[in-house]
Structure 1
Amino acid sequence: MWSMTQGERPSSPAPALDSLTAGVQAAAGKGPPPVHLWNPAYCGEIDMRIAADGTWFYMGTPIGRPALVKLFASVLRKDPERFVLVTPVERVGIRVDDAPFVAVAMETRGEGAGRALAFRTNVDDWVIADSSHPLRFEREATGGLRPYVLVRGELWARVSRPVFYDLVELGEERDVAGVAMFGVASAGTFFPMAEAAELAAQLAAGEDAP
């Protein structure tokens, strides 16, 4: 059931799901738990995985209770070595296939230069893309782009395909260091997606835009 990273030894057996849930509930209070302040002993890896589509699994079975997923998500943290669920008394590793969250909706707030783009994640967190919560665009093997928005700490949300289409509709060209770039602006920050000439060539060839 449990596995350890090579060379590490747990200080105690990794907790079962019920025990971990109880610990998370005890740690939860009003507002986001201060997981960045907690540094309990590492207790091993629990058989929990977050799939690329944002589904949480425990021992190969999807966790069907949204409230439980939100509870675990509230104590998720990215340590240098791994993703962990952390409480004041225990810290366990989990697997994440891509990003731990998915941005499933977007809304615009304000207009013109003051416009901000707010994203809702699959666990109902809201984040506004800005200099502290940037958008990034990774190149896929197929040539397309894979977009992400930083939620908190080192935890990113992959922007779902329908939301990405909405994002592209808001895009514009700007000069970045002498290069015409296509991107999107939010809260006073411009986030380049790709070179404008590259996108024009794709469209001319009949290929899908990123």
Structure 2
Amino acid sequence: MPETNPPIDISRLSLAEIEAAVAAQRRPPVERWNPRHCGHSGMRIDREGRWWHEGRPIERAALVRLFASVLRREEDGSHVLVTPAEKLDIDVDFAALRVVAMTIEGSGEAQRIALQLNTGEALVVGPDHPLTVREELPLVAVRGGLEASFERPVYFELAELALAADPPGVWSGGRFFPLGPS
């Protein structure tokens, strides 16, 4: 099956180009699919964002992107892989997705932060993709209740940016996201 949404590499794009690339992507309408529950997928996403099937790592990035495209978080907080015909549980240790790169344009209240995910998706932090903190770790809302945690280098980059503000936090998309202790 050919990939319809190639990965977005934010390192070579401006924020305007990133937003255009995101807008051009088409996602399966998983929020509208309500098939019967068929059991467990035998899959797990560990705390580091690695995907596993029956105890073996899924090594092919394209396969992870495919599964991530049909991943949904249910109202009870559980995660499922969903198609028009079936719904299968998938275990998620912390957050389903991972932020692997960050780029920043502007400063202060005009600052905008774009993030690249391990699935090749990208987003701009703002009202539609807010930053939150859980277990003292930053998370970003991605889509449909899914969240992404941060790879260590990106976490440190975000922390350095947040600690330069008083109170600690970052601006993006016209909104301030506090990231310090509450």
Q: What is the TM-score normalised by the length of structure 2? A: 0.81
Q: How many residues align?
A: 160
In 2, distance between residues paired with 1:173 and 1:70? 35
In 1, distance between residues paired with 2:121 and 2:180? 28
Code of the aligned partner of 2:147: W
The alignment partner of 1:133 has SS state of: coil
Deviation at 1:99, TM superposition (A): 0.3
Deviation at 1:33, TM superposition (A): 0.5
2:113 equivalent to 1:121:
no
Deviations 1:39-82 (A, max 9, x none): 11111112100011111100000011111110000000001242
2:62 equivalent to 1:71:
no
Bigger Rg over Cα: 1
Query: Counterpart of 2:147?
Result: 156
Deviations 1:109-157 (A, max 9, x none): 3444322101111111101110121101224xxxxx3111111111000
Query: Counterpart of 2:34?
Result: 39
Unmatched tracts of structure 2, length 5 or more: 6-24
Query: Counterpart of 1:6?
Result: none
In 2, distance between residues paired with 1:116 and 1:83? 30
Q: Retained in 1: the 8 A contact 2:110–2:171?
A: no
Query: Counterpart of 1:192?
Result: 178
Task: Select which of 165, 168, 176 maps to 1:182.
Answer: 168
Query: Counterpart of 2:14?
Result: none
Structure with more contact order per residue of length (Cα contacts < 8 Å, sep ≥ 6): 2
In 1, distance between residues paired with 2:27 and 2:140? 19
Task: Select which of 165, 170, 173 maps to 1:173.
Answer: 165
Q: Retained in 2: the 8 A contact 1:148–1:157?
A: yes
In 2, distance between residues paired with 1:152 and 1:193? 21
Unmatched tracts of structure 1, length 5 or more: 1-24, 140-144, 175-180, 199-210
In 1, distance between residues paired with 2:106 and 2:82? 37
2:94 equivalent to 1:103:
no
Q: Retained in 2: the 8 A contact 1:168–1:184?
A: no
Deviation at 1:92, TM superposition (A): 0.7
2:87 equivalent to 1:91:
yes
2:49 equivalent to 1:54:
yes
RMSD: 2.1
In 2, distance between residues paired with 1:60 and 1:168? 33
In 1, distance between residues paired with 2:110 and 2:36? 45
